[in-house]
Structure 1
Amino acid sequence: MTQKKLHPSVLKFKEFVKNNPHIIQEVRKGKATWQELYEDWYLLGEDDGRWETLGAETENESKKNSESKGDFMTNILEAIKKMDANQMQSHLNNLSQAVGAVQGLLAQFQGTAGGGTPVKPPEAPKNPFSFRQD
């Protein structure tokens, strides 16, 4: 199998990327392309400050994500601590009564069909088994 021999600068760039994995994350997130990064690396060199800021941005984003998750859980726990059990019971009772009223209203409308006459369910025979006596 024949392999293409890469230019020495490309090999150096690949080594640079291996030593700085945060650059790979930048490409995967779509913030930069390999071509852009290679050109910047070729023109600016490995010691440029840009390479340090790329890693810092990735770390800051991960810290923000973990902090926002922690803040959400903290807010939920604080809200639960501040709840008054009696007040919650009162709200649940009111909600239950409202649902019951809606169900009654729906049952009332379903019970009437057309001209306002209530629909009666078909009556079952009084004796489902008719035995004849001989």
Structure 2
Amino acid sequence: MTQKKLHPTVIQFKDFVKNNPKLIQEVRTGKATWQELYEEWYLLGEEDTRWETIGTNNETADEENVESKGDWISSIMGMVKKMDPNQMQNHINNLSQALGAIQGVISQFQGNNPAGGTVKPQEGPKHPFMFRKD
């Protein structure tokens, strides 16, 4: 079997991962992907401070998550306050028109049945294989 030759930067990244096993944990826990880590490594280099913070679990991160949830709610409330009712009405009208157009197209493809009843299947001959006797 022939093995594909890897790009030199990929080989260097593999060596970097071997020296930093916390990167493997990051990928396994779903916090990052190999592609993201490789791109950051390629752009930032091995000496960046970002690599020192990987894999550190401290209680301040949990506290920040609780605070960020509160900040998220307050930011949504702030956005609701900033909304212009006329602009929202225009967006809703545009959405309604788009949905109406989509419904019209779908009804054309389904065969518009104005009676609203069910579509009857076409009746074929009662004996589809009619053989004549010689």
TM-score, normalized by length of structure 1? 0.42
Q: TM-score, normalised by structure 2?
A: 0.42
Q: Which has the larger radius of gyration?
A: 1
